[in-house]
Amino acid sequence: MSNATLYPVPEEFARNALIDQDTYQRLYQASIDDPEQFWAEQAKRIDWMRPFKKVKQTSFDDHNVSIKWYLGGHLNVSANCLDRHLEQRSEQTAIIWEADEPGQARHITYRELHRDVCRFANALKHQGVAQGDVVTLYMPMIPEAAIAMLACSRIGAIHSVVFAGFSPEALAGRILDGRSNVVITADEGLRGGRSTPLKANVDEALTHADIKTVDKVIVVRHTGAEIPWHDHRDRDYAELMAEADDFCPPEPMDSEDPLFILYTSGSTGKPKGILHTTGGYLTYAALTHQYVFDYKDSEVFWCTADIGWITGHTYTIYGPLANGGTTVMFEGVPNYPDVTRMARVIDTHKINILYTAPTAIRAMMAMGDAAMAGADGSSLRLLGSVGEPINPEAWNWYYHTVGKGRCPIVDTWWQTETGATLMTPLPGATPLKPGSAACPFFGVQPALVDNEGNILQGAAEGNLVLLDSWPGQARSIFRDHERFVDTYFRTFKGTYFTGDGARRDEDGYYWITGRVDDVLNVSGHRMGTAEVESALVSHKDVAEAAVVGMPHDLKGQGIYVYVTLNDGIEASESLRQALRQWVRHEIGPIATPDVIQWAPGLPKTRSGKIMRRILRKIAVAEYDGLGDISTLADPGVVEHLINEHKSMT
């Protein structure tokens, strides 16, 4: 793959790019040689209310993991995203909202957004929300979601956005973990013409989990549907806004005050509340948004990610708005009403930069050229990909059919924990190799280590770690710093372990090979095998379950489940359906198993650890490469599983 086709930077693109190849090399070197100097310089793009005293104080030593940037500095995120743009661009569109149904877009200027954020910030204060409180958002992709996030940041409340596709059970767990007192939601969400009862889900979460801590539920009337209403707890968003004052002073926040928590899956246990703070995150989000996407004033930027994920936080909201950009929020899905939807949005809003996920690209590609048929697409200048490795076939289709061979593709590798992009080509600087995330961004020091932690040199494949901190790095797991240290800093001492494997070729390009832990990536959504397993075993008929990933044409990875039923329970097709439903109910539709295989027993070591390696092989019918199975407590189960798998296919 290292000698894969090389796509040079198109000349016309290079001429106008913010960063060319020489500049990249020079700045990258400077960022490594003198991080303090480099990052002090970059922080000038942010308005500080009080200057910071020290740029960087970070330690990856597992006895003392501590990550602090821009120490002593004061700033406010919403002021950086709104107030400071008012002088120059109050009438510029900040957010273009594209509704689920075509033809119902809304344009919101910086002036309007500022006013609404101020009002809602005041409303939150009236409802008793104070600095440091955790506010849970369970919202569709509507402007009110952006308003709520920015309003929290204005008063120093910590937002915790829960993807609106998660079930009431999953929502309840996150509300409890965050000890949140306030939930903001909508009557219903709309995606692909189908509604989700968000308000009813919130009620169910609060009732079932018997959550007493939440005393306010603020509801945006979006579809206007009939919803259950509890006067003591529920508040109408529009009523609060009507009563609220038009101006709310932005709270000066310390650089290291929490900005948000966002739950993500790990290889064990329940989801982790990844904690991001204020100064470093915003600086890094804004800087990467500008340079990775070569973003220029007045361009229209469309990141298709939902605000329920980190990509939506950083590149739908904070990055573009900090840069005074125009960002698109899309409520719907790429294939509704039909596969031409993305192209229609691109043409309608004259999108210059499109940032989406391989799973969406593959879904369009599956319809041949229909997705772009009849579309103009000439506004596009740059394309981006994120969330999972992009297979060269999808890359080529994206490049030629969507980008018409004119637009570079930035394949950005990063994680919830990294806050923003760590590795990517820079579009004006880096010749592209389809499927490679190319090179580290400024200040980022990736390395590959073998399983013993030895650093590998030159062309090599290994575990991907980072040797030093960058400003956008997560600071902790909310109220569980020990778990943070354990998860990321104990595997390979002195480094941050990403959980990913990667290869570096002779040209120094990185190729992400995927997770090396028990984390799945389904349609770009991160899913812990342990979470799906624990959902399954909570079903009354299930004794045990083991979950592995399997290759999937559209989703990248599908969910393959081995289930051992309780004694006396009969395996049946209807039970299989019931279990699929059960997982959807416990976690959400994105966790729906693709295949359920009955397993009278699971392959376990004598100490009781499930050998997923074997299960992964059987799932793809690689019966020969099972490796050493002599350490199993009962090697006989393997043959059983193979026979059952053969009988299914």
List residues forming the annotated binding site for CoA: 191-194, 311, 335, 523, 584
Quick check: 28 binds ligand WT7 (CB under 6 A)? no
Q: What is the DSSP string of 357-371?
A: -HHHHHHHHTTTTGG
Residue 231 to residue 303: CA distance in whole angstroms: 37
* Interface with ligand WT7, residue 510, by CB under 6 A: no
Is-contact 247 207, C-beta < 8 A? no
What is the closest distance, in whole angstroms, from the C-beta atom of residue 420 to ligand WT7 in the complex?
A: 9
Angle at 377 between CA 374 and CA 378, to 5 degrees: 125
How far is 259 from 70, CA to CA, in rounded Å?
Answer: 15
Per CB under 6 A, contacts with ligand WT7 among 153-172 are none
Nearest-Å Rg of the Cα atoms of the chain is: 24
List 45's β-bridge partners, or say none.
Answer: none
- Annotated binding-site members for Mg(2+): 537, 539, 542
- Count the Cβ atoms, other than its own, within 10 Å of residue 574: 8
Out of 206, 512, 542, 615, the residue judged to bind ligand WT7 by CB under 6 A: 512
Q: How far is the CB of 150 from ligand WT7 (least distance, A)?
A: 21
Q: How far is CA 450 from CA 62, 252, 491, 540, 637, in A?
A: 19, 45, 11, 42, 32
Q: Which two tokens stand for residue 76?
A: 């406010």
Query: Residue 129 or 512: which CB sits closer to ligand WT7?
Result: 512
What's the min distance (Å) between Cβ of 261 and ligand WT7?
14
Stretch that binds ligand WT7, among 51-59, 380-388, 395-403, 599-607 (CB under 6 A): 380-388
Binding mask 407-426 for ligand WT7 (x = CB under 6 A): ----xxxxxx----------
**For ligand WT7, which residue of 463, 521, 529, 597 counts as binding (CB under 6 A)?**
521
DSSP output for 226-293: -----TTTEEEHHHHHHHS-S--PPPPEETTSEEEEEEE--SSSSPEEEEEESHHHHHHHHHHHHHHT
Interacting positions 291-330 with ligand WT7 (CB under 6 A):
309-311
Q: How many residues bind ligand WT7 (CB under 6 A)?
A: 23
Residue 387 is a binding residue for ligand WT7 (CB under 6 A)? yes
Please state the residue numbers annotated as binding site.
191-194, 311, 335, 387-389, 411-416, 500, 515, 523, 526, 537, 539, 542, 584
Contact between 389 and ligand WT7 per CB under 6 A: yes
Residue with the CB atom nearest ligand WT7 in the bound state: 416
CA distance 77 to 82: 9
Query: Per-residue x/- marks for ligand WT7, 453-492, CB under 6 A?
Result: ----------------------------------------
Phi and psi, residue 265, nearest 5°: -90, 145
Q: Which one of 340-348, 471-479, 494-502, 617-625 is the stretch in contact with ligand WT7 (CB under 6 A)?
A: 494-502
Q: Binder to ligand WT7 among 248, 386, 426, 610 (CB under 6 A)? A: 386
Bridge partners for 423 per DSSP? 413, 440
Strands, sheet with 182-186, edge to edge from the N-terminal-most edge strand: 234-236, 216-220, 182-186, 134-138, 158-161, 258-264, 272-277, 476-477
Residue 417: CB minimum distance to ligand WT7, A: 7
Residues 264-283 that bind ligand WT7 (CB under 6 A): 264
Place of tokens 């910071």: 52
Q: Which residues bind ligand WT7 (CB under 6 A)?
A: 264, 309-311, 386-389, 411-416, 437, 498-500, 512, 514-515, 521, 526
